[in-house]
Structure 1
Amino acid sequence: MAKLFLVRHGQSLWNLENRFTGWHDIDITELGIEEAKRAGMILKDEKIDIAFTSALIRAQHTLTVILSEIGKPDIPVIIDKALNERSYGSLEGLNKAETAQKYGDEQVHIWRRSYDVIPPGGESLKDTYNRVIPYFENKVAPLLKKGENILIVTHGNSLRSLIMYLEHLSPEEILEREIATGVPITYIFDESFHASRKVG
């Protein structure tokens, strides 16, 4: 049975500053590095054959720390922008609280927590899903079906897309799912390629 490990990157500088980050290439903080190390400690005894990450430095840096922590820095790594965070368009770089003061709490909540509403110049979660899932089906799923264990280190909304797909969740259900930084989520696939989430 193959395993899929999902990890959201460690805290980034703009996470700390409560800014919309999206496709801006912002690195992780010292706390983010510590979160990545803890993720590595959790995954230390797992067999990992190949890793995937986005084209953004916060995910790549987190992955590098994890692989160093587990003592396997030479695992093959595939980098692809298909796994990038959702684009927030013209909101990127703006403080979330200040943006709520400008546009109203309700509007900002809709931009952040709706499935198919697009922020100005950006992507909806639905757009992100339609980018991430074909990539997963074409590039990752065939490896899992061969029995390889996969680690994906990426972003909150990229992971929401994957979790929605793997757990067959509705748009309403996935929008309620919080994904902590630097905490591995494990899925185990049976011979029929059905995924079950490992808890604990």
Structure 2
Amino acid sequence: MSNLILIRHGESLWNKLNLFTGWVDVPLSEKGVEEALNAGKLLKHWRIDVIFTSELIRAIQTAMLVMSKNFSGIPKIEHENWMMKEWGSIYGEDGERYVPTYKSWHLNERYYGQLQGVNKDKAKTIYGLFHK
């Protein structure tokens, strides 16, 4: 039986500042790094065969930090660019297991347009509360 593990990235520097982030490529905060490492500890004995992540650094950092605590293998980014794909063909020591890691913009966070970088509380005062 297969399992699907879904993980949201840890706190980013802009999450910490309560800013809309969207597609702005903001890294994890110190707290976000700790959150990712803790998630890795919780998942350390789960066998992970493949990783899919957005192209945003906070998601990639989270995946790599989670895998730093996991015994499944070493994550290896699978590049789409023809030269990087060729140059990325690495071979490890006998028994070394690589976990293919695929990035896609289709997994990026919601795009917030002009709200990106705006404080969420300020946006509420300007535009009011958003309801579903």
TM-score interval (norm. to shorter) = 0.7 to 0.9
The one of 91, 96, 103 aligned to 2:115: 91
Which structure features the higher share of helix residues? 1
d(CA) in 2 for partners of 1:96 and 1:48? 36
What's 2:80 paired with? none
Superposition CA RMSD, Å: 1.0
| Mapped partners of 1:3, 1:69: distance in 2 | 19
* % same residue: 45
Partner of 2:7: 7
What is the rounded CA distance, in whole Å, between the counterparts of 2:54 and 2:127 in structure 1?
30
Partner in structure 2 of residue 102 of structure 1:
126
Question: 2:103 maps to which residue?
Answer: 79
Q: Does 1:41 align with 2:41?
A: yes
Asked which structure has the greater CA Rg, the reply is 2
What's the CA shift string for 1:146-172, capped at 9, x where partnerless?
xxxxxxxxxxxxxxxxxxxxxxxxxxx
Task: Give the length in aligned residue pairs.
Answer: 108
TM-score of the pair, normalised by structure 1:
0.52
- Once residues 34 and 47 of structure 2 are traced to their aligned partners in structure 1, the CA distance between those partners, rounded to angstroms, is 22
| Equivalent in the alignment of 1:25 | 25
Which residue type is aligned with residue 45 of structure 1? H
> How far apart in 1 are the matches of 2:7 and 2:19?
21
Query: Residue 12 of structure 1 aligns to which amino acid in structure 2?
Result: S
CA deviation after TM superposition for structure 1 residue 75, in Å:
1.1
Cα deviation for residue 68 of structure 1 reads: 1.0
The DSSP-based 3-state class of the residue aligned with 1:93 is coil
Does the residue aligned with 2:5 lie in a helix, a strand or coil? strand
Point out where structure 1 has 5 or more consecutive residues left out of the alignment. 115-200
